[in-house]
Each structure stands twice: as C-alpha cells, then as structure tokens.
Amino acid sequence: MPVPDDDRTGARIAMYRKRAGLTQQGLAQRIPYSYSMLHQVETGHKAASPQLVAAAARALHVNVSDLTGTPARSLLPDHVADVIRPIREALDLYDLPADPHIPIGPAGELFKAADTLCRDVRGARLHQAAALLPGVLADLMVTCREEGSTERWRALASAYRSAHDVARKLGRDDLACLALDRMGWAAERASDPVLSAIRQYMRALSYRSRSADHSIGLRLVADGHRLLEQAEASRDRQVVVGQLHLGAAVLAARAADKTGAVGHLEEAKDVARKTGEAGRVHWLSFGPANVGAHETYVRLELRQFDKAFTVARAVRPPRGWATSRKAAHLVDRARAEMETGRTERALGSLMEAREMAPQQTRYHPRVRETVRALLHLRRQSPDNLSRIASWVGV
C-alpha cells in the first residue's frame, strides 16, 4: 500500500491532520479554508499557499517547518546525543596511552561487564548499556594492553560490538561503523575467526539500505564464510554460518533478487534444523524462530505481503528469546498486517513493541514508515495511533 510523499506539503498536512484525529471537513472549519481547497492541497492538485500553511500549523499545533519540511527535524533528542557522546570519546581511546590515575578492576569483573552489555542490548535496555559502555571500553582497552590474552581481546571485541548495536539502534550509523572498525581490530588480535566472521555479517547488514550497493554486502558475507573455514567445526561455527545466510537473504531481497533471497533462507533453515535455538551462542538469536523472523522481513521486501503475514503469525518466540529480537519482529509483523489491510492489528503490534522495548522501538525507522502509512490509510486516527505518531516524531 502506498505511503504519503513526505516531500509534499499537502501530504504532511494530511499526516498531521490524521494524527490530530481530524477529518478534512473538521480541519477546513478550523483554518478556515474550504473543504474543496484543503482536499486539493492534500492530494497535490493545488499548491499550498503560505497563508493556508500558517493557518493549518496553528490549528494542528505544529510548526510551519513541520508542514513544509524545512529545516529537517532531528530524529535524536538532546538527551540521546548526550548519551552517545561519551561512547564516541571512548572509541577514540583505542590508540592512546592509558590514564595512570584511573584504577582498573580485575579482568574477571570486566569480562562479566562485557556480558552485561550484551545482555542489556538484547533486553533492549539501550540507555543502560550506553551508560556502562564508556567505562567498560576504557578499562578493557587498558587490560588488553597489560596482558593481551585471547580472552581479553574477545571481551573487548564484544564490548565494541555492543557499542555498534547501541549506536545503530539509536540511529547513529556513523558511530556504528566506527565501532565495527574497532571490533575488527580487537577480533584480529584475539585470533578468533568466528568473531571476525560475525563482524563481517554486521558490516554486511549496513548495506541493506535501499540506496546501498548490495553486492558489497554480499561480498562481506562471502568473506565471513571464508573466515569460518579457519575455525574448528563446532555448533558455534554452524550458528554463525546460518546467521550469515540470513544476512545474505536480507541483502538479496533488498536487491529484488527473489531466487537468491529464498536460496539463502533455505540454507539458513537447514542449519537451524541442526542447531536448534541457539540464543546464547555469541549473543546471537539464531534458530528456527529467527529464521522465521528474517523470512518475514524478506517476504515484505519482495512485496509478498500475504506470505509475509502468514510467516509472521507462525513465528513462536522461544523461551529466552532476546527482547530486542521479539520487538523487531513485532515491527515487521505490524508492517505485514498493515500491507494486508489489517490496520487494527498493525497498530496493536506496534503498541506491543513499544511496551516491550520502548527505547529501541522509538528510533526504529520501520516503525516510522508503518506509522506514516497507517496515518495515510485512516481518515481519522484513533487515540493510540495519534499518540504513537507523536511519540516517534511523525
């Protein structure tokens, strides 16, 4: 189903009108302009005059710039920028001498702290993880310099990975890429091909945006498989093989390569049948449920909406499945429900994702896309849709 053209002022007026729970007739009475004029502006048949835009902004309690689209609104509130800044500074410490005045805790405690970071990210407690990250990164960097054992470098690579996850989920892709560079640097010193392959998987997924060159992402996946050839045969290795296939399926779907996407999904399903649910292997969520969640996304990208809805409803989250994974799947399920005309269900899934993982859901780009589409589809917006639209900044 179509979504509004956000580069057109009329479409923005319609979106904010629906968010306010008003019909075209209701807004026309408040401006006041005729219903016919407002209808033609919203549908793009007439340009919105500055006077009409100003009147609509007053009636809808928004800024004129919200309706005209200039300047662009920031997706990150100030408090998120404040959370992100210390992480960026900690990532810059990797090649600097340690501060001799800062005491470092025992290595065992730092290893536990790195695991806590992963647990917080999986639990969608992003601000908590962000608050811990700078100190853990700095301390692990020092302890790796003092005694660069494989275990210490692995812990540091894990902490860098958590920094990537937090930055990406909060919408800071530039910082996420920097954290992945640091992760690769630490994984190389740990001499751990499995960790290095996980990093290639995460790098590959950065190429899933619509404007990206998906072939580069697929080359990164292929390199991940090459790295795994250096690892001993194990369940851990199988899990990462399966996760790489899921990444390739996503990239192929974004490139509209149905054959490639379905082929990689089948490979991942075969691996999942052997491994079962493996949520504690390198803090991945691999297993049959995660394959189903990825298939939902793939079918959506291939515009096979009925199939996506069927697959999404069949996913049964296993015990201990990461909250972050469950919430992300709810977002995709909401899109499948919206695309198949089940708008009430779609709104319910979004509300469930918000309740389950508010910090993650608020900055999720696909949430914004689905909310925009729901606003476009409804002449009047129920209170829940209006509230979640305001909450995500649509």
SS (H, E, C) 258-317: HHHHHHHHHHHHHHHHHHCCECCCCCCCECHHHHHHHHHHHHHHCCCHHHHHHHHHHCCC
CB-count burial class (<10 Å; 0-12, 13-18, 19+) for 131 = middle
With bands split at pLDDT 50, 70 and 90, how would you rate the model's confidence at 272? very high
Distance CA 334, CA 341 (A): 11
pTM of the model: 0.79
In this structure, the chain runs to a length of 394
Instruction: Give tens-digit pLDDT for 285-336.
Output: 899 999 999 999 999 999 999 999 999 999 999 998 999 999 999 999 999 9
Residue 267 and residue 360: Cα distance in Å, rounded?
A: 29
pLDDT over 70 (residue 69): no
Is residue 22 very low, low, confident or very high in pLDDT (cuts 50, 70, 90)? confident
| Confidence grade of residue 70 (pLDDT, cut at 50, 70, 90) | low
Q: How far apart are CA 176 and CA 162, in angstroms?
A: 9
* pLDDT value at residue 72: 39
Q: Would you call 207 helix, strand, or coil by DSSP?
A: coil
Quote the pLDDT of residue 96.
Answer: 80
Over residues 228-267, the pLDDT tens digits come to 999 999 999 999 999 999 999 999 999 989 999 999 999 9
C-beta neighbour count of 152 within 10 angstroms: 23
* Statement: residue 73 has pLDDT above 50: no
- Token match 């990689």: residue? 264
Give the mean pLDDT of the chain.
88
Over residues 68-89, mean pLDDT: 68
pLDDT at 210: 59
User: Does residue 6 carry a pLDDT above 60?
Assistant: no
Contact 378, 340 (CB under 8 A): no
* Local structure of residue 92 (DSSP, 8 states): G
* Percent of the chain residues past pLDDT 70, beyond the cut: 92
Q: In this model, does residue 26 exceed pLDDT 80?
A: yes
Highest-pLDDT range among 99-103, 203-207, 377-381: 203-207
Mean pLDDT of 266-279: 95
- Cα–Cα–Cα angle for 176, 180, 186, nearest 5°? 145
> What domains can you pick out in the chain, each with its CATH number?
9-68 (1.10.260.40), 74-191 (no CATH)
What would the pLDDT profile of 164-201 be if each residue is shown by its tens digit?
A: 999 998 888 889 999 999 999 999 999 999 999 999 99
Average pLDDT over residues 49-72: 75
Mean pLDDT of 136-159: 91
State residue 380's pLDDT score: 66
pLDDT(1) > 70: no
Asked if the model's pLDDT at residue 212 lies above 80, the reply is no
At 16, is the pLDDT very low, low, confident or very high (cuts 50, 70, 90)?
confident
Q: Per-residue pLDDT for 21 more than 90? A: no
